[in-house]
Every structure is written in C-alpha cells, then in structure tokens.
Amino acid sequence: MASSKERVPIVIVEYDDISRTIAQRIAEIIKERRAAGGHAVLGLATGSTPIGIYRELIRMHLDEGLDFSDVVTFNLDEYYPMTSDSIHSYHRYMRENLFSHINVKPENIHVPRGDVPRADVDEYAEQYEAAIRDSGGIDLQILGIGKTGHIGFNEPGSGVESRTRRISLDTITRRDAAADFFGEDNVPTEAITMGVATIMEAREVALVATGEHKAAIVCRAVEGEPDPDIAATYLQQHENAVFYLDFAAAADLTRLRTPWVIGEVKWTREKETEAVIWLSETTGKSVLKLDAHDYREHHLSSLLARYGSAGPLNGAVFNALISKVRGRSKLPAGKRVVVFSPHPDDDVISMGGMLNKLHQNKNDIVVAYQTSGNIAVFDHEVRRYADFLRRYGSDFDITDSSYVSLIDDVESFLRKKKTGEIDAFPVQVMKRAIREAEAVSGIETFGMSKSQARFLNLPFYQTGKVRKDPIGPEDVRIVHDLLEEHKPELVFVAGDLSDPHGTHRMCLEAVVAALADYTGPAPEMWYYRGAWQEWTIAEADVLVPLSEEELRAKIQAIFKHQSQKDRAPFPGQDDREFWQRVEERNRSTAQRVDRLGLPEYFAMEAYVVRREGAPVDRETVPTSTLRVMVGPEEEPKVRGRRSVRAKRG
C-alpha cells in the first residue's frame, strides 16, 4: 500500500511493542557507545507517553543487568516556576518513574531547574546547552507530541533555530495539564524547555504518540508542510527521526483513513463499507444514489470494477449498514451480562441507552465500577457533605466522639490542604462514597437496583494522584473473581482510548488479563465509547437507536452524578458538560446514518462486538486489543529499530 503523503518514517504498533522497541534501541546504544570507549547520552521526556519505555528499561536493568552507570541523561523540560520536590515537578517524576530504579549516577542526571531566579534563567539555559555539548551530544531523544504539535514545550511560533529557554505555555497545553494539577488555574504559565534546534541535533529521535486524541495533530505533523506553528513538523527535516504510533494515534493518516486516494487497496467488506461511507459523505449523496461517475472521480474505480456497476455495490453496503441497526427487540435478552465501567459514570455516559434496554429485556446485569473515581470530586463537595453530616448529627443528637472527630479532621485537612496535595484517607473515603452513591442513583434511573452495582476499587487506582500504578496481579484477580462468580455471556468494556487519564486503557488491560485465565465459556465482548469519542459508523458493528424519551432518560441518569455536573474536575479538551457531549454525539450519529439514506432515528449509540478468543481481525476489532504492525507494504514482526522503520514517502 502506498504511503506517499508521509514525510517522516512511521511505525504503527501497539503501545507495549513501542515501549519494548525503543527500550531495546536504548540498550543497543548504551552497549555500542561503551564498546567504542564512550558513553551514551539520552534525551528523556515526561508525561504518560514514555512510562512504558521507562518500565521496560527498569525491567532490563533488574532482569538482564542493563548497566546505566556511565549513561548521561538530559530531560526536555520543566515547569517554571517549580521546585524539584513538588509533586508536579519533572525532577520528581523522573525519580519515581526511572532514576530511583536504575544505577544511573546523580551527577549524570540533568533536568532543567524550575527554581532558577528569573533574572538568571537565560544564563542557566546557556549552561544547559553547554552541558549537552560537553557530554558529546544526545544520542537518542524521546519525544511526545502535544495537541498543539509541540515537542518539548516548543509551542506554536517556536523557530527552528530556538535553543533552551523560558517559554510561555499555550492555553491548550495548560488545559491538557489541568488533570495533573487538579485544575487549569493551578498549571504554571511558563516552562523551561530545550529548543527545536537542540532537539534536531540529537543523532536519533523517537517520537511516541498514542490515543485518538492525538490522531489529528499526528496526521498534520506527518503529512503536512513544515510549519512554525507546529513544531513537530520540523522533524520531517531530521535524517533519523521516527514516529512510533499506536493504531488510535495513526487513525487519521491517509493510508489508514482513505488509502484508496494514494494507491491500490486490498479490498475487504470492511474497507468497502468505509470507502462507500466516505464517498457518500464526500459527495453529499445517500449510499443508494451513488453512481459510477462518483466512484471514478474519487479514486474508487478498482472498487467499482469488483461489482461491475454502482448498483450492486451500493446495495451490498446499504444492506450491511442496515444490518448494524438493532432496536430493543434485536438486542440480547435473558442473558448474564457484566458491564465494566472504569469510572463511576462511564456506564451511563457511554451506554446509558443500551443499559436501559438490556434491563427492559430482563438480562441478569451486574455493573462493575472498576475505580472509585474519588480524585474527580472537588473539595467543596466534601465540605458540603461534611456540613450535612454535622447538621444531621446535631438534629438527631449523635454525640459519638469518633463521629464528631472524623468530621473535624476532614474539615481541618481541607482548610490546610495545599494545591495538588494527596487527600487524607478520610477525605478519599468520603469522595469514594459520593461517587458510589451517585452511581447507584444513576442506574436506579432505569429501574435497576443497588444490588446490581459492584464497586471493585481496583488497587492500581488508589494512589490518591492522577498518575496511577501499573495494573498488577491483585487488579486482575478482583476482575477474574467477578467473572467466575457471574459467568457472563456478554461483557461490556470501555474501548475509549482518548480518556486523558489512561484509566480506560488500564481497566481494559485488567479485563483482558482476567479473561485469559477465565474458566467459563468465552463471553461476547461489546466495546463502547462515548465520554470522549464515539465509534464511527464504519467501525461500529451495532448501532442502537434511541428515542427522544430514551435519550432523556439517559441524560437524567447522567444528572445523578452531581459531583461531575456543571464543571467536571477532568473535562479534557471539551468544556461542555458530559450530558451535552452525549446528546450531541448520539444525535450526530443518528444524523449521519440518516444522511447515508438509512431510516431516520432521533439518536444512536455505537458498539464494536467480538467474541473473546476469536481470531483477531485488525479491520473490525478495537485497536486496543491488537499487537500487530502496520507498514506501508508488508507487516514485519517487531525485532528492533532497523526492522520496523517505514520507508520515506
């Protein structure tokens, strides 16, 4: 398949394979430099993107003896102002996620200081540049990419000649960081960052991007013209830069989104459906009204030739689309169902309409809330409930000293709490209880009972911080025990990889791992989205129509999550309330279906379905379940850096 629009080599694999590949390349560089009598110099990044790389490096150090004693490191950036011991500092991040677990020498570690007096920042930046030069230059630079296309903190307008400096942060960048700082208002407005020129001087560059929310900017960086407003496009000029993408981040690339416009396509039923939907939307015609001229004028002659004329092709795709639409009578009935909800509101936000219909169809449903969601409760909510408890105790003369003392402790902690400080245990418990009560109230909207709610409180989430621990054996055991107990015939899981916290990804990982040891018959897996992004019509296997009344009931269930209403603590890039996003998204899906010429519905939810353990088909299964490679031609296995690089267009 051609890839002529791509201006930089790319590798598309799942995240674990990205982490292993880059970690292995780092190990090779360390050994190569040492064998030549020198030392490796690594450029490191922070955030969620490189966590997997660092975990693999730690594993290689502990299990394989990978030696970091002579390795020199330089980090890309740091917030300004920022003390090194702050919970938000990149100094602390690097200690916790890498440096404290390997034998790198403290004197060889370089992370930009965020506590340099403002008057001395320029001089300090020059010293940082000099230290990089004196070390021999960076051998491999790890990068992420921001939604503005920034690398490091090189925001729009950063010049190709820019060097380490203090820079003002873009509004979008600060909004992206809001979750880590428990609110956008707490995010610093400036940072110290390596410049574009500094990054470009690295001998190798590995840019890593994951998730649907990065797809648009990745496409622009890979296929667009170099642009000072998108610093990542400068990497097109680097002789040894590679973009490592998961399938979600690569989804908007031409060779995946519309491969027929750049070359030959291996046609499958799924590709045919994608192409015809695209053609229908491009021409503004319904599917059944497309003609041969439309196909020929839009690079689809080879598809037309497979059917001889437009009519049979249009009919085949139209029938395939119609078969996706399932009203209540065509949905499961009398089945054992487990709905896994990563946060306590994902069930009603993402599949509230389906949940209502499943209950009406008398399925035996358990809704398993995988995490407490307690960090997503504002402190003022806890103050309100603490005040309620105090008043309730006073009205009913509850004088138990431990009861009163607990309320005093909660209120005292919140009065003294610093921004970003981890909540005291009683506060964490209160926030968890708030979310649990809201979750029960949400499903009761559909007539379900509180006994159908299970709160798993998976340990990986219980750090009190936005950044979570890896999924561990205990997380998997808890999920596995529920599966063994309920023996579900259907399992619903979140396939929404744009979740900015990564919790959805991790909760899916726990379910997949638990199913690997599950002794019952393989359940059918239904993947939902909704909080951040919906499945496209082409991707979806099932489209569930909702009436105006059913959509209203779904929104009422979302309203029960009062702690997330009006202003959610972690809204992502969308300022609207969750119910507003849901209403727009579900109605938009129905409107798209209508424009394709299918029956008109008020609203729709979309799902991807497959049986766990069935053969994996990359065209129809959520990318989160895959570990395969997409290249512009064949699909080689991931063996090392040189074997996985795609050719330049």
Measured CA to CA, the distance from residue 329 to residue 321 in angstroms comes to: 18
- Helix axis angle for 15-35 and 51-64, nearest 10°, is 50
Please, which residues have CB within 8 angstroms of residue 270's CB and are 6 or more apart in sequence? 538, 619, 620
Q: For position 632, what pLDDT does the model report?
A: 34
Among candidate residues 155, 438, 534, 605, the one labeled active-site is 155
Q: For position 637, what pLDDT does the model report?
A: 32
SS3 524: strand
Q: What is 604-646 written as a DSSP string?
A: EEEEEEEETTSPP-TTTS-GGG----B-SS------SHHHHPP
Beta bridge partners of 109: 73
**Structure tokens, 252:** 């908007």
- Average pLDDT of 443-450? 98
Measured CA to CA, the distance from residue 326 to residue 358 in angstroms comes to: 12
Whole-model pTM: value is: 0.84
SS3 337: strand
Range scoring the smallest mean pLDDT among 277-286, 367-376, 501-510: 501-510
CB atoms within 10 A of CB 440: 20
Burial profile 312-331: b = 16 or more Cβ within 10 angstroms, e = fewer: ebbebbbebbeebbbebeeb
Please, which residues have CB within 8 angstroms of residue 597's CB and are 6 or more apart in sequence? 280, 286, 287, 288, 289, 318
620 vs 21, higher pLDDT: 21
Range scoring the smallest mean pLDDT among 348-352, 354-358, 607-611: 607-611
Please, which residues have CB within 8 angstroms of residue 178's CB and are 6 or more apart in sequence? 184, 186, 187, 570
pLDDT band at 502 (very low <50, low <70, confident <90, very high): confident
Q: Return the ∠ at Cα 614 (arms to 244 and 510), rounded to 5°.
A: 60
**Structure tokens, 592:** 């798209």
Q: For position 195, what pLDDT does the model report?
A: 97
Nearest to 465 by CA among 151, 115, 97, 132: 97
Q: In what order do the strands lie in the sheet with 190-193?
A: 77-80, 190-193, 165-168
Percent residues over pLDDT 90 in the chain: 78
Q: Give the tens place of pLDDT for each residue, 516-548.
A: 999 999 999 999 986 677 899 999 999 999 999
Q: For position 462, what pLDDT does the model report?
A: 87
Nearest to 443 by CA among 578, 549, 557: 557
Q: Give the tens place of pLDDT for each residue, 81-131.
A: 999 988 889 999 999 999 999 999 999 999 999 999 999 999 999 999 999
* pLDDT surpassing 90 at residue 28: yes
Measured CA to CA, the distance from residue 515 to residue 490 in angstroms comes to: 12
Any catalytic annotation for residue 438? no
* pLDDT surpassing 70 at residue 629: no
Measured CA to CA, the distance from residue 480 to residue 495 in angstroms comes to: 19
532 burial via Cβ count (<10 Å: 0-12, 13-18, 19+): buried
* pLDDT surpassing 50 at residue 134: yes
Measured CA to CA, the distance from residue 343 to residue 365 in angstroms comes to: 17
Q: For position 530, what pLDDT does the model report?
A: 66
Q: What is the DSSP code (8-state) at residue 376?
A: G
Q: For position 180, what pLDDT does the model report?
A: 75
- Average pLDDT of 358-372? 98
Q: For position 533, what pLDDT does the model report?
A: 79
Q: For position 568, what pLDDT does the model report?
A: 65
Measured CA to CA, the distance from residue 48 to residue 500 in angstroms comes to: 9
Q: Give the tens place of pLDDT for each residue, 388-413.
A: 999 999 999 988 889 999 999 999 99
- Average pLDDT of 574-582? 84
Please give the sequence-ordered ranges of beta strands (E in DSSP) within 423-523, or none if there are none.
Answer: 453-455, 490-494
Nearest to 207 by CA among 403, 50, 361, 42: 50
313 vs 375, higher pLDDT: 313
**Structure tokens, 299:** 């690079």
Q: For position 626, what pLDDT does the model report?
A: 34
pLDDT band at 173 (very low <50, low <70, confident <90, very high): confident
128 burial via Cβ count (<10 Å: 0-12, 13-18, 19+): buried
Confirm if 356 and 414 have CB atoms less than 8 A apart: no
Range scoring the smallest mean pLDDT among 216-225, 314-323, 411-420: 411-420
Confirm if 588 and 401 have CB atoms less than 8 A apart: no
Range scoring the smallest mean pLDDT among 113-117, 171-175, 235-239, 570-574: 570-574
CB atoms within 10 A of CB 611: 11
Torsion of CA 206, 210, 216, 222, to 10 degrees: 20
Is the dihedral angle over the CA atoms 471, 476, 482, 486 positive or is it negative? positive
pLDDT band at 644 (very low <50, low <70, confident <90, very high): very low
Q: For position 647, what pLDDT does the model report?
A: 34
